[in-house]
Amino acid sequence: QLNMAKKKEAFLKDFKEGPLHFKPTYKFDLDSEVYDTSEKKRKPAWTDRILWKVKNLCEVASKEGEFPEEENPISVILNSYVSHMSYGISDHKPVTGTFKLEMKPLVSDPLVTLNPEGEWSAEHDVLIRYSAAPELPSSAWDWIGLFQVTFRHVKDYVTYAWVEDDEISSSRNSKQVYMSASEIPKMGGEFLLCYYSNNLQSVVGISEPFQV
């Protein structure tokens, strides 16, 4: 029935499913592995299923002129697709799937390279040197954030510097900005720097970890 629907309904055609190497998961007598013994004698069926679909981001972006159509940057691999016959509280047996998700970078090289200069501590203002690729669509709203190495979101910054307002030197190959000593964490630890592009709405450069 599902295969017939996939052929008929356009929105189902791109969905994938793993091989059904398990027995039908419906309909069981409660608390048993015996199929329906009631008067209805319902036929066993693979009612519980897991389907997945990966949106073709490259194709969409190519149509919008953002980057050339290449290999999809997201790949999904099904590692296991099984039923669990030991559960008996329903006339269905639960089904689980485990997947490996790989997200490939959209660019091979970072648009910005950046490094902390000198010794970083809360006792004095500190310096950051960075260089940007010519194709970076820079903005006055770009900023460089100081993050703990365990950060999980772009809003997890400890402090930040505006690339234009806090700039103190500029040359053809690199620029230099400062961060105030009052913003540097006194407890120290391992940190890194991230360059956030306002136009691209993403981090486009990350430094190597360093000690404060």
Domain boundary among 57, 86, 103: 103
Number of domains in the chain: 2
Q: Are residues 175 and 89 in the same domain?
A: no
Share of the chain above pLDDT 70, in %: 90
Q: Are residues 78 and 132 in the same domain?
A: no
Q: Which residues contact 101 (CB under 8 A, 6 or more apart)?
A: 74, 75, 76
The Cα 115–Cα 190 span in angstroms is 14
CATH number at residue 144: 2.60.40.2840
Give me the domain span that covers residue 37: 1-103
- The whole-number average pLDDT for the span 73-85 is 91
- Say if residue 186's pLDDT is above 70: yes
Show the beta-strand stretches assigned E in the chain: 74-83, 95-103, 112-117, 126-132, 143-148, 159-162, 167-170, 175-179, 190-197, 202-206, 210-211
- Say if residue 70's pLDDT is above 60: no
Indicate the burial class of 128 (C-beta count within 10 angstroms; 0-12, 13-18, 19 or more).
buried
Rounded to 5°, the CA angle 123-179-112 comes to 135
- Say if residue 17's pLDDT is above 70: yes
User: What is the β-pairing status of strands 95-103 and 74-83?
Assistant: antiparallel
Q: Which residue has tokens 């390279």?
A: 113
Domain boundary among 38, 73, 103: 103
Strand partners, 183: none
Quote the mean pLDDT of the chain.
89
